[in-house]
Amino acid sequence: PHPLLKYAGMPIGTAVIAGKFAYYTLFRSLENNPISKTRRQLLNPTYFQPGAPRCYLYSKSDAIVSWEEIQQHMRDASNKDIPITDAMFDGTEHCRHARGKDHLRYWQLVVLTWDKAKHIKAADLESDMFEEGESSDDGIITDPEKEILSSLSAEHV
């Protein structure tokens, strides 16, 4: 090759490859990492029953998950008519609310959310989870899940 092309091609090629790497790292991988995928799946009715209540417990002191991200996810859930309960805790780090100074409030919210979930009829859960013609007998729901569903429906008979 011509010497000019040889020396000009190397920086141009490096810039193109570096640009593609930077684009993928900054933009594409933000949407394809496990945390982003999980956030999307939490709002996807294929994975989680939309009528099931959600409880968002968070703190501004959390260095792992930003409180702004939690609030954005709550707005996204609310826009999909997912019932939510939320509480911001003061001064507790990630997953430390149950041991913080406001631990009683934490457990009250957990019990409240659990009680709301208990009142969802099992038949409603199954009808939302399966396409027409499918059922839990297709092997999608495990035996322990069947026990939970049957105990829920027994409470509402």
Q: What is the pLDDT of residues 65-122, one digit of tens each?
A: 899 999 999 999 999 999 999 999 999 999 999 999 999 999 999 999 998 888 776 5
For residue 143, pLDDT beyond 70: no
Average pLDDT along the chain: 79
97/155: higher pLDDT: 97
For residue 123, pLDDT beyond 80: no
CA pair distance 148, 122, nearest whole angstrom? 8
For residue 2, pLDDT beyond 90: no
For residue 141, pLDDT beyond 50: no
- Write the single-letter amino acid at 56: Y
CA pair distance 18, 115, nearest whole angstrom? 53
149/105: higher pLDDT: 105
- pLDDT for 151 equals 53
DSSP SS3 for 32: helix
Q: Are 120 and 51 in contact (CB under 8 A)?
A: yes
For residue 126, pLDDT beyond 60: no
